[in-house]
Structure 1
Amino acid sequence: MRKAWLVALLLGSVVAGCGVRPSAVITGAPAPTGPANAVVLYFLSGGQAVRVLRPLAGELPPVSPVDLLAAGPDESERERHYTTEVPPGTAVLDQKPAPNGITVTLSVGVTGLSARAVDQIVCTARDSLGGGAQITLRGEGSVRGPLSCPLPG
């Protein structure tokens, strides 16, 4: 009888020790929302750069998100009072990895850009390049950076 009790005790402790331990509810991040084919642009609202998800029809266009930013808000975005300080015609000529992040060469001089335009470009470039890389802007012989987006991505 004593041997059977010891076997039962041993079996009980082995079985109890190999299960999943109870825990509190573990929550995850919210499910992604928005269109499956979209681009993130940073427009201005009330003078501050804000993240805007722009749906794209069909495939991603051959232009960069910074080019879309320079084209300005579309009709829907204008209705929501989004604006831009990125000069019309600003285009990305090149993007290259650099030791401190990414160098983005623009079609305009970067020293003449307003602080808000720089924030818009840096944040938009950061999101399109996938992460927290620092961005150095070059254009017409001038350089700004390396810069970080002041807003969460």
Structure 2
Amino acid sequence: MTLAACGVRPTPILTGGDAPVISSHELTVFLVSAGRDALVRRTRTYSGTVDTATAINLLVAGLTEEEKKLGLVTEVPASSERVYAISNVIVLPEAMLELSRWAQFQLYCTAVASRAKVEGVPATGIECP
């Protein structure tokens, strides 16, 4: 066996920066039960930076496969448009101008739970499951 070198000299160990960190958060969304008679609290995992509108954007994105198998439904119209939070106001896409009672409850409870989680604001006196 023959070994040959190409003239590249050894270098010292090169250190890099710290490994990237992905923050994972558990956010709460509210869906409607299969019987359409109650809200159901669901926890979804989200990786990345979160703000008050993140959970609502997860809700607007639609049901997960597991939620569909459980027979849960949503009355919040699915949309590819993002929801924005400005101070204490949630700005919804124009397609959501007319919402059913259940959709309004879903958005309200999801927003309250998200704000409590992200901003540390207590959700006292709120009627959500």
Q: TM-score, normalised by structure 2?
A: 0.62
Q: How many residues align?
A: 97
User: Within 2, Cα distance between the matches of 1:38 and 1:71?
Assistant: 16
Structure 1: segments with no counterpart, 5+ residues:
1-35, 97-101, 134-147
Q: Alpha carbon RMSD of aligned pairs, Å?
A: 2.6
User: Within 2, Cα distance between the matches of 1:67 and 1:119?
Assistant: 15
Change (3 A) 1:150 1:91: farther
Specify which of 21, 34, 40 is matched with residue 28 of structure 2. 40
Counterpart secondary structure, 1:84:
coil
Q: Does 1:78 align with 2:64?
A: no
Contact 1:119–1:150 (Cα < 8 Å) also in 2:
no
- After TM superposition, list the pairs within 5 Å mapping 1:82-97 onto structure 2: 82-89=72-79, 91-96=82-87
Matched residue, 1:150: 127
Change (3 A) 1:68 1:49: same
Q: CA deviation at 1:110?
A: 5.5
The amino acid that maps onto 1:44 is V
More strand by share: 1
Segments ≥4 residues shifted beyond 2 Å? 58-63, 108-111
- After TM superposition, list the pairs within 5 Å mapping 1:68-147 onto structure 2: 68-89=58-79, 91-96=82-87, 102-108=88-94, 111-130=97-116, 131-132=122-123
Change (3 A) 1:59 1:69: same
Change (3 A) 1:80 1:60: farther
Contact 2:77–2:96 (Cα < 8 Å) also in 1:
no
Change (3 A) 1:149 1:115: farther
Task: Pick 1 or 2: higher relative contact order, CA cutoff 8 A, min separation 6.
Answer: 2
- After TM superposition, list the pairs within 5 Å mapping 1:10-29 onto structure 2: none
Q: CA deviation at 1:49?
A: 1.5
Structure 2: segments with no counterpart, 5+ residues:
1-23, 117-121
Which is higher, the Rg of structure 1 or of structure 2? 1
Matched residue, 1:65: 55
Q: CA deviation at 1:119?
A: 0.3
Among all aligned residue pairs of Structure 1 and Structure 2, give the percentage whose two residues are the same amino acid. Answer: 27
The amino acid that maps onto 1:79 is K
